[in-house]
Amino acid sequence: MRRCVAPLSPLISSSSSSSSFLRQAPWRFNIWESFTTVIGNRVYDLPVPEDNTPFITFVLGGPGSGKGTQCEKIVETFGFRHLSAGDLLRREIASKSKDGSMILNIIKDGKIVPSEVTVKLIQREMESSDNHKFLIDGFPRSEENRIAFERIIGAEPNIVVFFDCPVEEMVKRVLNRNQGRVDDNIDTIRKRLKVFEALSLPVINYYSQKGKLYTINAVGTEDEIFEQVRPIFATLKVSK
């Protein structure tokens, strides 16, 4: 079953609440009044007032659904800051931090890292960013993740983009991507797909019910898929 892209109306009315850290953060801008200019198809931010709020996009989809690839295109075209939760976790492993070996074991097993750990990594990146437009890729992966983000960050996403991809296509892409990842093998992929269905789909349904979900048919070339993604961001005042 293929879901339709939701109407764009929630964008107009959506607003985000802020925790104390968000209120203090340097990028707390008023997105609706930020001043940007477009040159070619690139968007350049001009200086904006000090009292603005962040614009948060969650980018969701199964393993290999194309989240990371499309995030790079959104960054290039609309000037967002891309935070891949999986990359932040892999960076923790590589830096041999105290949580590194625990994270590695969970990733190898296709399970979900404790919410506090992931949210703190995202929080650190958001706080130190001078960009106020965020793409949070591959998070939240469970209702527990979602609730922890709301509690710790004190904000909800403005929009959620879901890359809807058939299982066979996702498996094929993950097995062919050759990025040397410990979890890109058939056994771990099977486990990740089960986790996606059991724990991540409820999050996607939650945002669908809230009218925040934009569903993309994730089959096609990178450019074809981006042509579905582009209008979502092009209509946002924050992107202009």
Question: Where does this chain bind Mg ion (CB under 5 A)?
Answer: 68
Closest approach, Cβ 84 to Mg ion, in A, equals 6
Type of residue at 47: P
Residue in 14, 68, 104, 216 binding ligand UDP, rule: CB under 6 A: 68
What does the chain come to in residues? 240
Tracing tokens 């968000």 back to the chain, one arrives at 22
Helices and strands of the chain, counted as H and E runs = 11, 7
Per-residue interface string for the shown chain with ligand UDP, residues 108-147, x marking contact by CB under 6 A: --xxxx----x-------------------xx-x---x--
Per-residue interface string for the shown chain with ligand UDP, residues 172-201, x marking contact by CB under 6 A: -----------x--------x---------
Residue number with CB closer to Mg ion (14 or 145): 145
Residue number with CB closer to Mg ion (68 or 140): 68
**Residue 73 in contact with residue 133, Cβ under 8 Å?**
no
Closest approach, Cβ 173 to Mg ion, in A, equals 11
Closest approach, Cβ 217 to ligand UDP, in A, equals 18
User: Residue 236 binds which entry of ligand UDP, Mg ion, none, with Cβ cut-offs from 5 to 8 Å by kind?
Assistant: none
DSSP states of 133-189 as a string? EEEEET---SHHHHHHHHHHH----SEEEEEE--HHHHHHHHHH-----TT-SHHHH
Residue number with CB closer to Mg ion (62 or 157): 62
According to DSSP, residue 195 is labeled: H
110 annotated ligand binder: no
Q: Calculate ∠ Cα 200-205-210, nearest 5°.
A: 130
The span from the CA of 26 to the CA of 53, in Å, is: 10
Q: Which of 155, 94, 100 is nearest to 122 (CA)?
A: 155
User: Residue 54 binds which entry of ligand UDP, Mg ion, none, with Cβ cut-offs from 5 to 8 Å by kind?
Assistant: none
Chain contacts with ligand UDP (rule: CB under 6 A) = 63-64, 67-68, 85-86, 89, 106-107, 110-113, 118, 138-139, 141, 145, 183, 192
